[in-house]
Structure 1
Amino acid sequence: MAESVQEVKQQAKKSMEKALEALQRHFARVRTGRASLALLDGIRVEYYGTPTPLNQVASLSIPEPRLIAIQPWDKSVIPAIEKAILQSELDLNPTNDGNVVRVPIPKLTEERRKELVKVVRGMAEEARVAVRNARREANSELDRLQKEKAISEDDQRRMKDEIQKLTDEYVAKVDQVLKQKEAEIMEV
């Protein structure tokens, strides 16, 4: 009996944690004014007819704060790497010297910074919704357990309070991550 109540809380916490982790992964792909390897995470390169993650055909490094260097293991893949980066929605212009593809990270305009802030706020709202959905699922599970007389009304009420505290905690974490990302974006 007590196990199932704790399981409900653990499941809610796990769902909320996943929402926060997903938000952080999405934020890592948002381009700020500085180089980050996470920026290129979603890029797939056509390699012998197969879309392959960029980090599986080349080594990536950041030699300067505003430059990503891509050293392919097979030089014949350089045009495919450049094409994949150009086709991504990152607005980056790669160049190569025959051995290394260099991706300079341009400074963001004030207008672009404001657009990105709106984008990250939208992502944060999606994460908050996911956290609230986890709360709703946990509460409906508690209602079901109470209806089946597996738990008392007092236990149900106490657990709902705990789940609400958990929800508040994760919404605050989402807000904190958002605040950091906004500051990073607006930093000139």
Structure 2
Amino acid sequence: MKEGGANFYGSLFNKKMYYSSGKNFHQHVKNYMNELILSSNHNNKDFVVFDQIIPSDNVDKYTNYFNEIKVIIVDRDPRDLYILNKALWKEKWIPSDNLDTYIEWFQLLRKNKTEHENVIYLQFEDFIYNYDSTIRTVCDFCNIDIANHQWKNKYFDPSVSIKNTNLIERFPQFRDDANIIKNRLMQFCYHQY
């Protein structure tokens, strides 16, 4: 690693910066990420799980920074995501103020979806409506014996989470928007409702 850097914004960032040459960059990042993961595994478990360690819209690029990684991307019905945000969450990063913008945003985030041997795409709703088979799929993908699946329903309880699916039933005032979303994003809508 080389020492270098610049003064940005005066004394605000008046610190040395370190950088690597481009030829070894990926290996340095892999080593760094491996050390970070090892340091977070305080109990020396066989598996370490992270939430959103890589962005789901650029999997190919970011999997290069890991020696061994299995990525599970969980998506959900765009109608429910829209309704959740309009009615409950009100998150600014989900552009639900304008339906056309929301639909474009939803498509844009999924346009780079690629097939990769270490990446699996699952539906949130399948964890609720098809729990056992979806858990088997996850275990198979991660090469984990299903017998190691402990604490069933302790951290994720389908009987609780089902209330956050098929939200048009709870929030009928969004039926027109949900129908437009269904027509324009059919391939992303959950097939069982």
For the criterion TM > 0.5, the same-fold answer is: no
Higher strand share: 1
Give the number of the structure whose residues are more often helix, by fraction.
1
Under TM normalisation by the shorter chain, which class is it?
Answer: under 0.3
Identify which of structures 1 and 2 has the higher relative contact order when contacts are C-alpha pairs closer than 8 Å and 6+ apart.
1
